Structure 1
Amino acid sequence: MTDTLFQAYVPLLFWTGLGLLLFRFLPDSLPRFLGRSLYWVGIPLEILALARQTNFADQIGLAPLATIAILICGLVLAWTSLQIVRKTASNTRLNSGETDAPVQEAIAEKSLHAIATSSITEQPAVNFWEARSRQGSFILSSMFGNTGFVGLAIAPAFVSEDYLGWIVFYSITHNVVGTYGIGVFLASYFGRSVHQISWRTLVRDILTVPSLWAFTVGYLTRAVELPSILESGLHSCIWVIIPTALLLMGMRLSQLQGWNSLRLALVPAVLKVFVVPSLVGLVATLAGLPAEPRLALVLMSGMPTAFAGLILAEEYELDRDLIASIIVLTTIMLFVTIPIWLFLFGDRPIF
């Protein structure tokens, strides 16, 4: 397992670090081009290849249900933690001897909208957790992980082929039900978008997720034998897609603003990469789930906060600084948590 851990960390560190270093010398439009290319072509090809080579176990139907349950658990924990943080921040302000005068003065100088969307460091007198835009960022960042680019690049290294379907199912369900379903709803609820999201638009967005169609095609064509050159090319493309995804993550990290909010991002970051996966592993163990699917669920639920959160923040005017800080923290914490999950929930010793 030490060799597997080393083999997973080396490309993660190398390609992510390379993306961080090279971005300043590359066109600003390159990350968007890579992101769209991976979304529409790269990740669907990887899912197609994984779906064709996966020996789906009898319990594979549990994966989507488990993913939805994990999303709901994340939502409940995020909402509860947010209320505790709000209450604690309010009590701290009152116990420090602050009166409402500074708050009223701050509100007088700015509109409510400006307060809600301004940087955290610009609001020393105001309980910033009362801003709906910040509350939305807190919840989104605590719930949705980067299961596509990062999850599909890392998790398969620790799970045998018989259970790769759990990882693929988790990624698709997480993106379709989570990011493009619950995520859009929450962003719209907490945000200040001028757009009205109709059910027709939401259904269209879900049905046009390319990874969903790629999985369907791959699953239905498992018995179809492709020409050897196509089959080998399909599997070889994974070794191009994974470095590209990690390279993109490094570029995106170099673009992030709002690192001053790291202290405030600690609670949602810990929720995302430690609390939720711990509960997933505990419940899966008590339910008698075999070690490999249990590890697959734990690893995927502990992926760092998704960059899609920044896209939703831009569209619905949520707090971009907070989400950016949480992405940074959860990405760093990933290197620490993976060995923990392998030790606690894997079926093979790490050392």
Structure 2
Amino acid sequence: MTVSTTQARLRVAVIGAGYWGPNLARNFTASAFWDLVAICDLDADRAQGVADRVGGDVAVYSDVAAVLARPDIDAVAIATPARTHHALVLLALRAGKHVLVEKPLADNRDHGAEMVQEAAERGLVLMADHTYCYTPAVLKIRELIAAGSLGEILFIDSVRINLGLVQPDVDVFWDLAPHDLSIIDFVLPGGLRPEAVSAQGADPLGAGKACIGYLTIPLQNGAIAHVHVNWLSPTKIRQMVIGGTERTLVWDDLNPQQRLSVYDRGVDLTQQSIDGADAAASLVSYRLGDTWSPALPEHEALGAMVSEFAASIREGRAPRTDGEAGLRVLAVLEAASRSLTDHGLMSPVQSNIHGASTDADLVEVGR
């Protein structure tokens, strides 16, 4: 499909009108870059309800094929269960549509790799809906790390716990950890590329799946990341601590008054030679400096994400959270599942060689 690079608005359909689809529909409707022209759901009444709420001339469908057959639709946003992503995304790509797909990218890495490869071969944009990566806080974290403000990263500790719904088809890792993994992948230069991970989980309810999980991810240069996810906590915590050689950052997503705090505090180790010998002794010194909170702009993450989706299509480039980012998250989740089965043993993470795409793989749209 060829899309003009002029300021004409792109035309999009939302597939899935359950929990997340209405949020996407609302943001596409509010965007200056998009016209929402269709909503599709197996439950036509539910789709009609979303169309009524967003207003405008939005067609309602219960048949995906009818939506994809429309030549005037440039892109689709898929907000359906992960087990359906593979089939729906391939249908959409083969119909010439750019695709935005809800996290996780697919229900397994092989399916995700096939989706990425299909998009690359057809010169279409495949974007993962890693919404947190478009929040002002996470964009600022990425900026600070890229600028070297934290120094070399030493550790990342992420907690995402609440009294949540026990999912019928996935465990707590696949339900909650994609958020944390996509954020870590987004803020680290080069993305999240561990060689192996270790996962431990517990099922005290007898639900048949892990309801509490701890994921350990060795990073480059001896650094480490740890993710704690939990459906059973009576309190809700959304916090990430990123420690560096220069400063430590704390992100508290539930504190709107001060989401980010940067601490100029840390531990310094210096090595000194003893009596000219090669043996070295480490001297520990503690750095106690100021704490500051970066100013953050106010914007809705989904609004920024749909704008990025439009920009990537118009500019013929990969979006910030492309299919490869989705694959890196899937690779860690699959390794975590294997480790969980192996009682916490380290499990290798499959590299993203198959299905890799680059900006060059995307056609120059409308040139």
TM-score, with structure 1 as normaliser: 0.26
Structure with higher strand content: 2
Bigger fraction of residues in helix = 1
Output the TM-score relative to the length of structure 2. Answer: 0.26
